[in-house]
């Protein structure tokens, strides 16, 4: 037992308890930071810090390409972004009678005859890689433009001046923006164009292979691929300051990209759309709770985090376990003649693929369960602990100094 600030606290024992305590007290953890107490906003900016690589003066567009700084410089990503548009327009004006090769970067490719319901249909194409590459550039430009010109000025307006908090506020603002759009598009696609509404899991397998895709589904899938690839590159190239749960996030992104790639390749886009939706909607509420926390809206942040917990429970556990159950129990709804590995027919689900699908989804569920355990510890601590604000600080810039004093 020890006394601190007039409060008696019990020393926790055991390496696991200590690890969990460190995570809960870590303001930079991507979940724990949602309720970490904040130092009061101040009009005094934080002390100057050395400039990061992407903040140094540009050495030129070619140098930005080689060093990948274009992902952090809107001026360079804009040049990459606008060039195919100019070439597309130029081709359309000069040679409209020929197929425009630049259209493959801007729009989905490999269109098929319209469906019986009258909506556009597409199949996979190697040009999908070019589409994804182009929209990685688009997301880099949008993300950094919003960060520099919208979200950081907004944070400063509300008294946030420390650079670390400005970065985190901008990250969460962009997350609200992106996941709100992706969730809406995913729901729209499932409701209007797919038999799987609402999580009628038997249609993941009935009439497989689903190699024909509604145009909206193909765009939705490829944009998600571009988004997560861009996020993964930012993470592994350390273009941003790494979080304390860096390893967890890398593992999460690796599993996510693995699922995206293989589900698209083997014509499992119906189940892929369902998984996407379970992941995205909870991230909106998580990001909102972090924003309210940075703004020191104490009651609002707790309410938002409670809503986040409810949404997470339903989507990332109930619905994801429903999907796992479907993989395990409904896999045999695939027509017998299509339970083969035949590229020519677009049928890739030989019987052993059941385990290949189940395992990554199960690993993703284990990661989510670990985070879910933390979520409840953090939420209960926020609700029932009256000394929380006295015992923790979210002053990320002061963290190294605190450790030195200890």
d(CA 406, CA 395) in angstroms, rounded, equals 16
Q: What's the pLDDT score for residue 23?
A: 57
- What is the share, in percent, of the chain residues with pLDDT greater than 90? 57
- Encode pLDDT of 315-345 as tens digits: 999 999 999 999 999 999 999 999 999 988 8
Which is higher by pLDDT, 255 or 232? 232
Which is higher by pLDDT, 40 or 149? 149
Q: What is the mean pLDDT of residues 38-52?
A: 55
Classified as helix, coil or strand, 342 is strand
Q: Report whether 260 contacts 224 (CB < 8 A).
A: yes
Q: What is the mean pLDDT of residues 60-78?
A: 85
Question: What residues form DSSP beta bridges with 111?
Answer: 122
Q: Report whether 270 contacts 198 (CB < 8 A).
A: no
Which pLDDT band, with edges at 50, 70 and 90, does 392 fall under? very low
Mean residue pLDDT across the chain: 84
Residue reference for tokens 């493959």: 104
d(CA 143, CA 178) in angstroms, rounded, equals 9
Classified as helix, coil or strand, 157 is helix
Q: What's the pLDDT score for residue 20?
A: 54
Residue 134 has pLDDT above 70, yes or no: yes
Q: What's the pLDDT score for residue 394?
A: 43
Question: Who contacts 397 (Cβ-Cβ below 8 Å, separation ≥6)?
Answer: 46, 47, 162, 163, 164
Q: What's the pLDDT score for residue 243?
A: 73
Which is higher by pLDDT, 379 or 169? 169
Residue 238 has pLDDT above 90, yes or no: no
Q: What's the pLDDT score for residue 302?
A: 84
Token reading at 160: 């946030």
d(CA 100, CA 109) in angstroms, rounded, equals 11
Residue 362 has pLDDT above 90, yes or no: yes
Residue 397 has pLDDT above 80, yes or no: no
Which pLDDT band, with edges at 50, 70 and 90, does 242 fall under? confident
Q: What's the pLDDT score for residue 56?
A: 60
Token reading at 291: 């924003």
Q: What is the mean pLDDT of residues 360-384?
A: 87
Residue 11 has pLDDT above 50, yes or no: no
Question: Who contacts 13 (Cβ-Cβ below 8 Å, separation ≥6)?
Answer: none
- Encode pLDDT of 74-122 as tens digits: 989 999 999 999 999 999 999 999 999 999 999 999 999 887 777 899 9
Which is higher by pLDDT, 327 or 404? 327
Token reading at 60: 């030129």
d(CA 220, CA 41) in angstroms, rounded, equals 39
- What is the share, in percent, of the chain residues with pLDDT greater than 70? 80
Q: Which of 29-33, 244-248, 321-325, 358-362 has the lowest mean pLDDT?
A: 29-33
Which pLDDT band, with edges at 50, 70 and 90, does 387 fall under? very low
| In 147-162, alpha helices (H) | 152-157
Residue 283: Cβ-neighbour burial (10 angstroms; 0-12, 13-18, 19+): buried
Q: What's the pLDDT score for residue 66?
A: 80
Residue 39 has pLDDT above 80, yes or no: no
Which is higher by pLDDT, 9 or 179? 179
d(CA 376, CA 382) in angstroms, rounded, equals 10
Residue 12 has pLDDT above 60, yes or no: no
């Amino acid at each position: 037992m020890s006394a601190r600030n007039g409060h008696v606290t019990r020393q926790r024992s055991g390496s696991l308890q200590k690890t969990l305590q460190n995570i809960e007290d870590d303001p930079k953890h991507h979940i724990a930071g949602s309720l970490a107490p904040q130092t009061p906003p101040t009009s005094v900016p934080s002390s100057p810090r050395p400039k990061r690589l992407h903040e140094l003066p540009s050495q030129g567009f070619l140098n930005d390409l080689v060093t990948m700084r274009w992902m952090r410089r809107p001026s360079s990503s804009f040049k990459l972004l606008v060039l195919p548009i100019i070439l597309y327009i130029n081709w359309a004006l000069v040679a409209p009678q020929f197929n425009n090769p630049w259209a493959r970067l801007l729009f989905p490719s490999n269109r098929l005859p319209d469906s019986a319901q009258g909506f556009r249909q597409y199949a996979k194409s190697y040009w999908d890689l070019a589409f994804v590459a182009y929209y990685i550039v688009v997301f880099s430009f949008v993300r950094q433009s919003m960060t520099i010109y919208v979200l950081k000025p907004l944070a400063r307006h509300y008294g946030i001046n420390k650079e670390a908090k400005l970065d985190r506020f901008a990250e969460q603002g962009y997350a609200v923006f992106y996941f709100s759009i992706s969730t809406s598009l995913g729901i729209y696609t499932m409701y209007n164009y797919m038999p799987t509404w609402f999580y009628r899991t038997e249609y993941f397998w009935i009439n497989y292979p689903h190699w024909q895709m509604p145009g909206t589904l193909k765009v939705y899938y490829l944009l998600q691929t571009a988004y997560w690839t861009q996020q993964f590159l930012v993470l592994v190239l350390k273009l941003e300051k790494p979080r304390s749960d860096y390893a967890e996030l890398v593992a999460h992104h690796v599993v996510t990209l693995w699922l995206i790639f293989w589900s698209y390749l083997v014509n499992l886009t119906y189940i892929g759309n369902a998984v996407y939706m379970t992941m995205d909607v909870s991230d909106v509420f998580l990001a909102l709770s972090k924003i309210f926390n940075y703004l020191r809206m104490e009651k609002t942040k707790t309410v938002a985090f409670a809503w986040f917990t409810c949404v997470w429970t339903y989507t990332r556990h109930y619905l994801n376990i429903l999907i796992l159950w479907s993989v395990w129990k409904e896999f045999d709804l695939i027509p017998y003649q299509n339970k083969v590995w035949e590229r020519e027919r677009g049928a890739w689900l030989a019987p052993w693929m059941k385990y290949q699908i189940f395992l990554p989804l199960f690993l993703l569920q284990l990661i989510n369960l670990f985070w879910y355990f933390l979520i409840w510890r953090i939420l209960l601590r926020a609700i029932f602990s009256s000394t929380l604000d006295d015992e923790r600080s979210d002053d990320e810039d002061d963290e190294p100094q605190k450790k030195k004093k200890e």
